Amino acid sequence: MCTIYAKMSFKSEQHIKVAVDAVVFGYIQNHLQILLTKQNHGSGIPKWALPGGFVKDNESVECAVSRELQEETGVNVNYLEQLFTFGSVDRDHRGRVVSVAYLALINPRHFILCTSREDMETEWFNLDEIPDLAYDHKEIIEKGWERLKAKINYQPVGFELLKREFPFSDLENLYQTILNKKIDRRNFRKKIMSYDLLLETDKIYQPKSGRPAKLYKFNHRKYRKLEKDGFHFEVKFA
Amino acid sequence: MCTIYAKMSFKSEQHIKVAVDAVVFGYIQNHLQILLTKQNHGSGIPKWALPGGFVKDNESVECAVSRELQEETGVNVNYLEQLFTFGSVDRDHRGRVVSVAYLALINPRHFILCTSREDMETEWFNLDEIPDLAYDHKEIIEKGWERLKAKINYQPVGFELLKREFPFSDLENLYQTILNKKIDRRNFRKKIMSYDLLLETDKIYQPKSGRPAKLYKFNHRKYRKLEKDGFHFEVKFA
DNA sequence: TATTTTTGTGTACTATATACGCAAAGATGT
DNA sequence: ACATCTTTGCGTATATAGTACACAAAAATA
């Protein structure tokens, strides 16, 4: 980027477009879901794809994702991190496109799907029922899924997928769903509780049947403070 | 990238260039070093910067880094991973450039610095003696450095920085240098040895003074095999 | 009031991490 | 040849963290 005068002048043409794509996870009814969009009136056969689009000249790549998500799906993400940049030559048959993919987590409070684009459909898909996708989006989802599985073990990102106040069993189920394995309830609770990052509310949740449960909320403020002091969240049930 | 017909046609112009930059680490004389380049005959005041350059239309982003490294520095990296994509609007004063940064590790066997560009200088810099850099390259190095520190704990990337055959103490010193802390020699050796991933050669290394040391080499083949079976390398001296 | 479902909790055992010091091998200087 | 210096190579005891495991309490339903 810096050493290019000799090879390619700034005026010389490079015919590559920069796009963003988002792998948006939601945890809905005890299932991990992904947000997909489909254009109804595009040319050719419409296919499901990740929300995303081209970056504008005057916005940062990060801003581009947020904007596209807002425009296409109406959801507000409460966690967004860069995932990977996909740059093979032929990933888009229409021309050369380099796409910066992001991983986003949303919380059920921000669920109102409403696209501002008339020619577009937006829907949640169960992770194991993803349809055929456009371009290399299957691969992007794969990477996002891997990242989420890894990340949940060493950063408290799981909470971003839950309601602000949740019964402890929701957290358990979330981890079991994401890691796709049974976790010992007592050991899990012991580990999480040992960090003292859950605030007990005085609210009670009554499940369909069974004993009522206390509602907890994650103490973001305390976590940020601890993090600054070198604290390292870790829940390893590998 | 997929949902763009309505917003921006494929023909419509986006004025963003795509570049690559590489944070290349070498471990030379017990010091972590970074490879920098400087153009001698560029317009304006030349500044040191990371090796890198624009991606060509017909090469993948990953290929672009390798090519640029080869052209600008002549080194062969033996480890290359994508680091982060830097996409703020004003990171390059000459125009809008989105840069995909890579982390590279090189092994002293591939040291012969020889740029094929006449207008360019290439040099190793000690990590704590990095000069003023062009653009946001300081920040990119910071990110690469963070990644390396984190990665060395859960992937055997350290070996990529050593000679193929090395005395055990080189590994010790490398870890101490990267993590910037003293590590208990016995515990470190015990941990590393417990994985049984070092092959003892029959060669002996004679240090300037002191007892001679056996030379080891890392068993890449065995590691790959173990990794496939779910093995997880981990050296945590946090 | 018996049955079902879900929450909430403790202890013994195992494995891993940490702390710690000394003898052996060679090089150098006298 | 002997004393000194430097670096390698190694084991054990203690503390900490992980794992395995079962039963009673609270509410809903029949």
pLDDT along chain A (238 residues), means of 10: 47 89 95 92 82 97 96 92 98 95 90 77 94 97 97 96 96 96 97 97 93 97 95 88
Residue contact B2–A119, C-beta within 8 A:
no
Q: Is residue A238 part of a domain?
A: no
On whether any CB of chain B is under 8 Å from the CB of A164, the answer is no
Question: Do A44 and A140 belong to one domain?
Answer: yes
Residue where one domain finishes, among candidates A92, A119, A151: A151
Question: Do B43 and B88 belong to one domain?
Answer: yes
Tell which residue, B156, B171, B157, has the closest CA to residue B205.
B171
Question: Do A78 and A33 belong to one domain?
Answer: yes
Q: Is residue B98 part of a domain?
A: yes
Strand D-proximal residues, CB under 7 Å? A 184-187, 190-191, 206, 209-212, 234, 236-238; B 167-169, 185-187, 189-190, 207-214
Helix axis angle, A168-179 relative to A137-151, nearest 10°? 130
Tell which residue, B93, B103, B104, has the closest CA to residue B136.
B93
What's the residue count for chain B? 238
Question: Which range (A87-91, B37-41, B182-186, B209-213) has the least confidence?
Answer: B37-41
Tell which residue, A137, A28, A64, has the closest CA to residue B87.
A64
Res B11: pLDDT: 62
Top-confidence residue, B211 or B11:
B211
Res B178: pLDDT: 96
CATH number at residue A59: 3.90.79.10
Whether residue B199 is predicted with pLDDT greater than 80 in this model: the reply is: yes
Widest distance between CA atoms in chain B: 72
In single-letter form, the type of residue at position B25 comes to F
Q: Is residue A57 part of a domain?
A: yes
Res A109: pLDDT: 75
- Which nucleotide is the nearest neighbour of A185, by CA and C1'? C8
Question: Do A29 and A146 belong to one domain?
Answer: yes
Q: Is residue B9 part of a domain?
A: no
CA distances from A157 to A20, A50, A78, A121 (A): 22, 21, 10, 28
Determine contact, residues A59/A71, Cβ cutoff 8 Å.
no
A173: left (phi over 0), alpha (psi -120 to 50) or beta: alpha
Residue B173 to residue B7: CA distance in whole angstroms: 55
Q: Would you tell me how many other CB atoms lie within 10 Å of the CB of residue B211?
A: 6
Whether residue B9 is predicted with pLDDT greater than 50 in this model: the reply is: yes
Residue contact B85–A39, C-beta within 8 A:
no
Give contacts of A98 with chain B, Cβ < 8 Å.
18, 55, 61, 98, 100
Tell which residue, A85, A119, A52, has the closest CA to residue B21.
A85
Res A40: pLDDT: 75
Nearest CA in chain B to A53: B1
Question: Do A212 and A144 belong to one domain?
Answer: no
Q: Is residue B207 part of a domain?
A: yes
Top-confidence residue, A237 or B198:
B198
Tokens of A224: 């940020």
Question: Do B134 and B195 belong to one domain?
Answer: no
How is chain B classified by DSSP, letter by letter? --S-TTTS-SSS----EEEEEEEEEEEETTEEEEEEEEESS-SSS--EE-SEEEPPTTS-HHHHHHHHHHHHH-PPPSEEEEEEEE--TTSSTTS-EEEEEEEEE--GGG-----S-TTEEEEEEEGGG---BSTTHHHHHHHHHHHHHHHTTTS--GGGGS-SEEEHHHHHHHHHHHHTS---HHHHHHHHHHTT-EEEEEEEE--SSSS-EEEEEE-HHHHHHHHHTT--------
Residue B106 to residue B76: CA distance in whole angstroms: 7
What mean pLDDT is predicted for residues B121-140?
A: 96
Q: What integer best gives the mean pLDDT of chain B?
A: 91
- Which nucleotide is the nearest neighbour of A190, by CA and C1'? C9
Looking at strand C, which nucleotides approach a protein CB closer than 7 A? 4-11, 17-21, 24-28
Tokens of A4: 């290019």
**pLDDT digits 0-9 by tens, B55-113:** 999 999 999 999 999 999 999 899 999 999 999 999 999 999 999 999 999 987 777 77
Determine contact, residues B115/B170, Cβ cutoff 8 Å.
no
Res B2: pLDDT: 39
In single-letter form, the type of residue at position A74 comes to G
Question: Do B49 and B124 belong to one domain?
Answer: yes
Question: Do B101 and B50 belong to one domain?
Answer: yes
Residue where one domain finishes, among candidates A151, A182, A210: A151
The number of domains in chain B is 2
Q: Is residue A11 part of a domain?
A: no
Res A117: pLDDT: 75
Residue where one domain finishes, among candidates A151, A181, A199: A151
CATH number at residue A214: 1.10.10.10
Residue A6 C-alpha from the chain's centroid: 41
Structural domain boundaries enclosing A70: 17-151
Cβ neighbors of B16 (< 8 A, separation 6 or more) are A17, A18, A55, A57, B96, B97, B98
Choose among A17, A51, A137: nearest Cβ to B14. Answer: A17
Res B111: pLDDT: 72
Question: Token match 């890894």: residue?
Answer: A150
Residue B221 to residue B227: CA distance in whole angstroms: 10
Question: Do A187 and A88 belong to one domain?
Answer: no
**pLDDT digits 0-9 by tens, B14-24:** 999 999 999 99
Residue B171 to residue B97: CA distance in whole angstroms: 39
Question: Do B48 and B142 belong to one domain?
Answer: yes
What mean pLDDT is predicted for residues B199-205?
A: 96
Tokens of B219: 């068993």
Tell which residue, A103, A94, A39, has the closest CA to residue A71.
A39
Whether residue B191 is predicted with pLDDT greater than 50 in this model: the reply is: yes
Q: Is residue B175 part of a domain?
A: yes
Question: Do B173 and B220 belong to one domain?
Answer: yes
Question: Token match 């997928």: residue?
Answer: A161
Tokens of A121: 């459909």
Question: Do B132 and B202 belong to one domain?
Answer: no
On whether any CB of chain A is under 8 Å from the CB of B34, the answer is no
On whether any CB of chain B is under 8 Å from the CB of A81, the answer is no
Q: Is residue B41 part of a domain?
A: yes
